């Protein structure tokens, strides 16, 4: 297993590009989303609530981004583990872990420099919008 390191924090210019790409994907599909981007320490850099997005998605988007950066992996991994049941259900007791698709680490030179978290629709749709934003940085 390859160890992924943390790198320098994502720049505000890159955060704006990530959010713009994610919003474009959400708008194209007529989804009202909340998009959160955190730096490599898990601190919020930007939060973007689209018109008519539900208020509950604000905290969820941030939690997805923080989970992705803290555990250096997409939150979809945790959602799948919980869905399998059995030992995967233990994840539900992990403090600070949001096991819902829609959080993706952002990488710079192979290092985690931040993460995007998206909430507002079904988790697969959240993941689709997060991936659109992450592609700007991750390629």
| pLDDT in the model for residue 74 | 98
Other CB atoms within a 10 A radius of the CB of residue 124 amount to 11
| Model pLDDT, residue 93 | 86
* pLDDT tens-digit map of 84-114: 998 888 888 889 899 999 999 999 999 999 9
pLDDT for 66 equals 98
Does residue 34 belong to any structural domain of this protein?
Answer: yes
Helices (H) and strands (E) in the chain, counts: 4, 4
DSSP string, 35-56: EEEEETTS-EEEEEE-TT--TH
Given a cut of 90, whether residue 1 has pLDDT beyond it is no
Total of domains in the chain: 1
**127 in any annotated domain:** yes
- 75 found inside a domain: yes
Q: Is 34 helix (H, G, I), strand (E, B) or coil?
A: strand
Q: What is the pLDDT of residue 62?
A: 98
Report if residue 3 sits inside a domain.
Answer: no
Asked if residues 69 and 42 have their Cβ atoms less than 8 Å apart, the reply is yes
Q: Does residue 120 fall inside a structural domain?
A: yes
The answer to whether the beta carbons of residues 123 and 101 sit under 8 Å apart is: yes
Q: What is the pTM of this model?
A: 0.96
7 lies in some domain: no
Whether residue 95 is contained in a domain is answered as: yes
Asked whether residue 76 is assigned to any structural domain, the reply reads yes
107: domain CATH number is 3.30.450.150
SS3 content of the chain, % helix, strand, coil (to 5): 45, 20, 35
Q: What gap in Å lies between CA 18 and CA 73, rounded to an integer?
A: 17
The pLDDT tens digits for 37-54 are: 999 999 999 999 999 999
Residue 123's domain spans which residues?
A: 12-138
């Amino acid at each position: 297993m390859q160890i992924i390191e943390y790198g320098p924090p994502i720049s505000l210019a890159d955060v704006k590009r990530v959010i713009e790409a994610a919003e474009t994907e959400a708008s194209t599909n007529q989804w009202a989303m909340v998009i959160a981007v955190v730096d490599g320490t898990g601190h919020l850099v930007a939060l973007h609530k689209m018109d008519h997005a539900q208020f509950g998605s604000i905290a969820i988007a941030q939690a997805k981004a923080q989970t992705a950066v803290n555990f250096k992996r997409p939150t979809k991994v945790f959602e799948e583990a919980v869905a399998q049941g059995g030992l995967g259900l233990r994840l539900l007791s992990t403090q600070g872990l949001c096991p819902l698709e829609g959080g993706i680490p952002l990488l710079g030179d192979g290092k985690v420099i931040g993460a995007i978290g998206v909430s507002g629709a079904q988790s697969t749709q959240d993941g689709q919008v997060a991936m659109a934003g992450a592609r700007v940085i991750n390629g």
